[in-house]
């Protein structure tokens, strides 16, 4: 059988399945077969391309054409026009040439020239459920190289030298984190992939797992070899049904091919992976709460030290990394540290995967070199504002900073953001226009935090309830004269006294919004009330008052 001249790629992910992607794929295959074109045209299931608001997508290669919002009813017309008559079916084309960028620095342009994807390079290209297609694109080559040619300490040094920093939000050097676990003596060591993606608006890890599950598995196996790991676990949200399905198949296929199990590549190294399904608690994104949940306990953060590298899952040395972090490991092993440092900035080498949502023309998933500005992301990758004027953006999900127009040209990397008093976050960018008031938005954030607080410590349990009451008053323009000061004081207490990072994080949207939008927030004060209403100081309310 000759090689097909044309490939029709239909991305199947959680969003497109509900829009009818499988039905469209089957209809295309049937229509092509009906016209006797099956040997010339191959219909392939792939992962998400990037856009998330365009229904079912159909890409035709090598024609480099993408059709959007396709239904079964459109299939016959597309096949007739494109594959029989040889012309594009223009009314179904995916919209969107990139508009001119209002302001982009030379640094931005230099970052983008000739640099492609690292994490998402297979997504939308291979069938994620076919291990042979992953292998054909150098899959598991890095694992073989590590196990047969390198010592564990050499692997750690390479990852450390690459400058890879954790992509879950903290930005800690990955190789350095591995080096803490490696020397600890134990017959059992664990590698955990944190796939508990709980921030609203963040779904990058889901699409990585749906689109290229073997890359995550390979990264975990390399990490295990480097630190002496004996078993791996992927802790994943129970709602991620398709991710779980594809990971299960990938693990099974990797075992069958000898990439997991005993004596991998004929060496003394043995390693396997299991999936642990979480119940959706936001706090389990914190690594020690995650470990508690894996042990069958209520997901509450642990007191540190001891740190997981010394005493983690089942009391054994444990390394926890985010999905995106692990997906960078195999490319670094294949290509070297210096190759990786050609991407992005000196302090944050590589790329960053973002989910970009809100009032923009092209919401979806993107991968860009670190150091690209928010302006570039909104007006180039996002296609500009869909309506209204830019008001603010929130970086890193609900726990992230809210930034104003002044920050549009700050490079998005850990060091640059830290210099201006912000954090980069996990990888969600929510763009909001001037139809949404800052007080309405903050009230939504506080509702989320009150709902998701684990209730383990007083500052978080009581402080968030008080904060929610204040945000509700500001939203209704009935806030007391001292409410804004009180909200700022509670934020500082949360930041310094809450037990875990997730309890501390509500301070980020509050303090950053006060930094840029204090005058707008003050419009929520009751103009008829100029006297303080609070009977106690906010500190007393947090530390003493039961809720």
Preceding amide of 62 cis, omega within 30: yes
Q: Is the pLDDT of residue 458 over 90?
A: no
Q: Would the pTM of this model clear 0.75, i.e. be above it?
A: yes
Mean pLDDT of 184-188: 96
Taking the C-alpha atoms of residue 179 and residue 326, their distance in angstroms, rounded to an integer, is 15
466 token code pair:
């008080």
CA distance 193 to 206: 13
Q: Which fold would CATH assign to domain 6-92?
A: Glutaredoxin (3.40.30)
> What is the 8-class DSSP label of residue 411?
B
Specify the pLDDT at position 201. 80
Burial class (CB in 10 A: 0-12, 13-18, 19+), 389: exposed
Q: How confident is the model at residue 534 (pLDDT cuts 50, 70, 90)?
A: low
Residue 176 scores a pLDDT above 80: yes
In the predicted model, what is the mean pLDDT of residues 483-493? 90
pLDDT band, very low/low/confident/very high, at 112 (cuts 50, 70, 90): very low
- The third-level CATH classification (topology) of the domain covering 131-339 is Rossmann fold (3.40.50)
CA within 13 Å, CB half, 534 = 21
Task: Check for a shared fold between 344-433 and 438-544.
Answer: no
Alpha helices, DSSP H, located in 19-140 = 21-34, 72-78, 106-112, 131-136
What is the arithmetic mean of pLDDT over 51-77? 90
Fold held by 438-544? de novo design (two linked rop proteins) (1.20.1440)
Structure tokens at 443: 């009230």
Percent helix, strand, coil in the chain, to 5, is 45, 15, 40
Strand residue runs (E) in 404-453: 428-433
Q: Are 212 and 219 in contact (CB under 8 A)?
A: no
What distance, in Å, lies between the first and last C-alpha atoms of the chain? 71
If you average pLDDT over every residue of the chain, what do you get?
89
CATH assignment, 344-433? 3.10.20.600
| Percent of all residues in the chain with a pLDDT value above 90, rounded to a whole number | 69
Residue 104 has pLDDT above 50, yes or no: no
Q: Is the pLDDT score of 4 beyond 90?
A: no
CA distance 140 to 135: 7
* 533 HSE (CA, 13 A, CB side): 14
Work out the pLDDT band at 546, boundaries 50, 70, 90. Answer: very low
**For position 15, what pLDDT does the model report?**
83
Query: What does the pLDDT read at residue 115?
Result: 42
For residue 95, pLDDT beyond 70: yes
Domain coordinates of the chain in residue numbers? 6-92, 131-339, 344-433, 438-544
* Residue 106 pLDDT: 33
Q: Give tens-digit pLDDT for 272-304.
A: 999 999 987 888 888 999 999 999 999 889 988
Q: Is 428 exposed, middle or buried (0-12, 13-18, 19+ CB in 10 A)?
A: buried
pLDDT above 80 (res 432): yes
pLDDT for 540: 54
């Amino acid at each position: 059988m000759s090689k097909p001249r044309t490939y029709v790629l239909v991305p199947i992910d959680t969003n497109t399945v509900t829009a009818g992607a499988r039905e469209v794929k089957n209809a295309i295959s049937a229509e092509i077969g009906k016209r006797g074109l099956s040997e010339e045209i191959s219909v392939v299931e792939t992962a998400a391309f990037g856009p998330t608001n365009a229904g079912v997508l159909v890409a035709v290669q090598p024609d480099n054409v993408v059709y959007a919002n396709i239904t079964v009813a459109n299939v016959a017309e597309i096949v007739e026009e494109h594959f029989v008559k040889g012309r594009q079916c223009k009314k179904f084309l995916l919209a969107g040439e990139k508009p001119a960028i209002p302001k982009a620095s030379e640094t931005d342009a230099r970052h983008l020239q000739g640099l492609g994807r690292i994490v998402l390079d297979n997504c939308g290209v291979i069938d994620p459920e076919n291990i042979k297609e992953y292998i054909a694109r150098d899959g598991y080559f890095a694992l073989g190289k590590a196990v047969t040619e390198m010592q564990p300490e050499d692997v750690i040094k390479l990852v450390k030298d690459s400058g890879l920093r954790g992509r879950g939000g903290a930005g800690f050097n990955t190789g350095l984190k591995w080096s803490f676990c490696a020397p600890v003596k134990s017959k059992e060591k664990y590698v955990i992939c944190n796939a508990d993606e709980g921030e609203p608006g963040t779904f990058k890890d889901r699409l990585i797992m749906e689109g290229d599950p073997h890359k995550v598995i390979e990264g975990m196996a390399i990490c295990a070899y480097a630190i002496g790991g004996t078993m791996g676990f992927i802790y994943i949200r129970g709602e991620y049904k398709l991710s779980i399905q594809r990971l299960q198949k990938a693990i099974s296929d990797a075992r069958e091919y000898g990439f997991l199990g005993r004596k991998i590549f004929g060496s003394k190294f043995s390693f396997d992976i299991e999936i642990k399904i979480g119940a959706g608690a936001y706090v389990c994104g914190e690594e020690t709460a995650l470990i508690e949940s894996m042990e069958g306990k209520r997901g509450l953060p642990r007191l540190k030290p001891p740190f997981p590298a010394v005493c983690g899952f089942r009391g054994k040395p444990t390394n926890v990394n985010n999905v995106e972090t692990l997906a960078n490991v195999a490319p670094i092993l294949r290509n070297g540290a210096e190759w990786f440092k050609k991407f992005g900035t000196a302090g944050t080498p590589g790329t960053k995967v973002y989910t970009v949502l809100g009032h923009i023309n092209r919401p979806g998933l993107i991968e860009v070199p670190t150091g690209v500005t928010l302006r570039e992301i909104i007006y180039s990758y996002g296609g500009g504002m869909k309506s209204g004027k830019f008001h603010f953006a929130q970086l890193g999900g609900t726990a992230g900073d809210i930034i104003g127009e002044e920050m549009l040209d700050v490079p998005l990397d850990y060091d640059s953001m830290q210099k201006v008093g912000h954090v980069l976050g996990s990888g969600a960018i929510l763009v909001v226009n001037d139809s949404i008031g800052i007080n309405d938005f903050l009230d939504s954030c506080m509702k989320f935090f009150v709902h998701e607080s684990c209730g383990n410590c007083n500052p978080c349990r009581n402080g968030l309830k008080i904060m929610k009451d204040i945000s509700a008053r500001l939203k209704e323009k009935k806030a007391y004269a001292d409410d804004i000061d009180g909200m700022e004081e509670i934020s500082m207490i949360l930041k310094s006294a809450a037990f875990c990072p997730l309890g501390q994080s509500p301070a980020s949207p509050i303090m950053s919004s006060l930094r840029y939008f204090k005058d707008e927030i003050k419009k929520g004060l009751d103009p008829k009330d100029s006297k303080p209403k609070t009977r106690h100081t906010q500190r007393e309310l947090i530390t003493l008052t039961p809720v």
